[in-house]
Structure 1
Amino acid sequence: MSRIASVVSVSPTLRAEFFSPAAWETLGTLTDVLLVDDPATLGATLDARTGAASSGPSRAEVLVISWGTPRLDAALLDRMPGLRLVAHTGASVKPFVTPELFARGVRVTQAGQGMAQSVGEVSVVFAMALLHQLPRFHHGLASGASWEDAEDAPPRYEIAGTRVGVIGASRTGRAAITMLRALGAEVVVADPTLSAADARALGVALVSLDDLLSTSRITMVHAPTLPETHHLVGARELALMPDGAGLVNTARSWLTDEDALLREVASGRIDAALDVFDAEPLPVDHPLRTLPNVLLTPHHAAATVQGRLRQGAIVVEEIGRFLAGEPLQHEVDAAALTRTG
């Protein structure tokens, strides 16, 4: 009997980043692979390959997806009647999955755990940059300010002994907590799903959101994207932050009121370091780009060499577990979609 077929809807560039030679060889050992070089053309590619002898879509039981893949609606799923598993090389599967997918009994897994370390590292780097006033110093020198003007900045702080608040003990939040504690920071967490016992195990103090915001010199946002977390940090919450405090967001702009944040940072009262924005790409004339107390990166906190390879390895490992009848370690079910970002 021939092996099962898999459809890999990942661009050649991302395939090279996600899958080491060993991981790709393993995938080829587990399945007959049908490649879709442009995820946006998944439906057309499946139509063109219908009836292929070795790995036609009708035989596909596994679908590997990446960014740009269309939503897996009934029309797409009808092209893969034997589909049993969807494995996303990224984190959030919300842009892709539909109720129809779960109604057909298709299971879903994702590789978000592979991003946790890299995004957590960027969060910690952001925190340290704000504590040491690096955005202001860089902006002053890069803009042509005099040496005296460039070195004029508010007091700087070391991370050791500084209170850092983490909103959300997510995968990335926990990675950041581990690093922050190793650096000697005093870490407090606000997360309604975290038990007191779990907080003790993480070595953090569990506090209310208002307490966290009003007492932390740096606040990191790592909460999931849910209806109830929309603008979790809004104008009222930002006003609670002490003068000179900093906000770090490498999660989703959904979690913060960007307009309210812009008003606060433009006033100079607080600082910010952001990897995510309401509009992406961030418009070239956006006022955030000009502020000396703001550090910006273009939504690339997760895109490290090691992180991408971890993501690919997770996908291949999950496919191996699925085919062996073993429990999946990163499965997302229909209920989980209402709880995770």
Structure 2
Amino acid sequence: MPGSPDRPRVVVAVPPQLRAQFFTGAVWQELARAAELTVLDEHSDRAALAAALPGAQALILSWRAPKVDAELLAAADRLELVAHTGSAVAPYVTEEVFRRGIRVTQAGDEMARPVAEVALAFTLSLLHRIQRFDHALRGGAEWAAASEAPPRHEIHGSDIGVIGASRTGRAYIAMVQAMGARVSVTDPFLSETDARALGVESVPLDTLLSRSRIVAVHAPVTEETHRMIGAGQLALMPDGAGLVNTARSWLVDEDALLAELQSGRLDAAIDVFDAEPLPSDHPFRALSNVLLTPHQAAGSVECRQRLGASAVGEVLRLLAGQPPAHAVTVDALTRLH
């Protein structure tokens, strides 16, 4: 599929449903005016992608696309850019992409605010035990019984612990601080200067867990953060505290969390799970102290459109001879999901 000699070609490996969410009419038209487009409806089809890459200058991809490795690069004779519409690029590119000088970009910055908003909504629900009341009423409990819950608290004056001063973590910090929370952060890369600028106290993980009314997980997914919240860490949390996870299940020992939740000692609000889709018979589903959402924290209309616009913007910058706005280096491969 060689491109026109005077017109660059771009491969869009994004399935129809996501294309409708990612690309507004105006954004799609802007891309189509700038380049000849090869659109792959079956975006996870490795053979189809290999057939589309010869002559292509840029590749826009989305979740569950094939990983661009040496075999696919053998067909990508003119490729200069891989623009991911999501955040972590490790599942989609290999070191060989960087070795060949191909630019790699991601759109994760656009997810920070909506995920932080969901984490805030989770926080408020846990503080006010809304999930417990909802479960009780939907389950047919009598009014008096449904009204029973552990002590409830306002966010103003509450101690909130944040694990990871990531993009999303910082957006969440700003939101809960605006509502009067006291915020502690655990992040090995957060300097004291940055902590002061954020208006937070930087503390060890054990300290954060033992004194926080709500703990919100926003750490990156790396080998070092795998199951960083296990049985020992959960045991440090005060009775009645809540855990918010809109990051990845990778960070939390799900079995240990389930045991604490089944005891009723803690509450939790969870958007991410070891098994997705979450099995219909999973014990989480039966617990009144748990709020569940199906990995949709970044699923707002506005966020999806910004993801698409960000990827298209990177292609347009490439074609205009400009540097990328959201490039990542080979170090990004250490972020596993």
Q: TM-score, normalised by structure 2?
A: 0.95
- The worse-fitting range, judged by mean Cα deviation, of 94-103 and 220-229 is 94-103
Give the equivalent residue in structure 1 for 2:322.
Answer: 326
Shift of 1:329: 2.4
* Alignment-derived partner of residue 16 in structure 2: 12
Are the aligned partners of 2:40 and 2:48 in contact in 1 as well (CA < 8 Å)? no
Instruction: State the alpha-carbon separation in 1 of the partners of residues 68 and 335 from structure 2.
Output: 20
| Structure 2 partner of 1:116 | 112
- Picking from 238, 244, 250, the partner of 1:242 is 238
Ranges in structure 1 where 5+ consecutive residues have no aligned partner: 50-56
For 1:130, which of 117, 126, 144 is the aligned residue?
126
Moved more, 318-327 or 193-202: 318-327
**Structure 1 stretch 96-105 or stretch 116-125: which is displaced more?**
96-105
State how far apart, in whole Å, the 1-side matches of 2:186 and 2:275 are.
27
Contact 2:162–2:186 at 8 Å: present in 1 too?
Answer: yes
1:37 to 31, 41, 62: 41
Once the two structures are superposed, what CA deviation does each residue of 1:76-135 show, in whole Å capped at 9, x if it has no partner?
222221111100111111111112222222111011111111111000000100000011
Given that 1:9 and 1:42 are in contact with CA atoms closer than 8 Å, whether structure 2 keeps it comes out as: no
- Number of residue pairs matched by the alignment: 333
- Kindly state the Cα deviation for residue 58 of structure 1 after the two structures are TM-superposed: 2.0
Q: 2:265: which partner in 1?
A: 269
Partners of 1:132 and 1:192 in 2: how far apart?
A: 31
TM-score by length of 1: 0.94
| Deviations 1:1-51, CA, capped at 9 Å, x for gaps | 51211000001111111111221122122221110111112422553x5xx
Residue identity (%): 56
Match of 2:193 in 1: 197
Asked whether 1:165 is paired with 2:153, we answer no
Map 1:191-340 → 2, pairs under 5 A: 191-338=187-334
8 A Cα contact 1:39 1:67, kept in partner? no
CA contact (8 A) 1:169 1:222 kept: yes
Q: Distance in 2 between matches of 1:320 and 1:182?
A: 37
Contact 2:43–2:49 (CA<8 Å) still a contact in 1?
no
Structure 1 segments, 4+ long, off by >6 Å, are none
Matched residue SS, 2:224: helix
Tell me how far 1:142 sits from its aligned partner.
0.5
What is the identity, as a one-letter code, of the residue corresponding to 1:186? Answer: R
SS at match of 1:219: strand
For 1:248, give the aligned amino acid: V
Deviation at 1:160, TM superposition (A): 1.0
Structure 2 residues without counterparts, runs of 5 or longer: none
Task: Write the distance in 2 (CA, Å) between the matches of 1:235 and 1:280.
Answer: 22
- The SS at the match of 1:227 is coil
Question: Any conservation in 2 of the 1:88–1:109 contact (CA below 8 Å)?
Answer: yes
Q: Residue 169 of structure 1: CA displacement?
A: 0.7
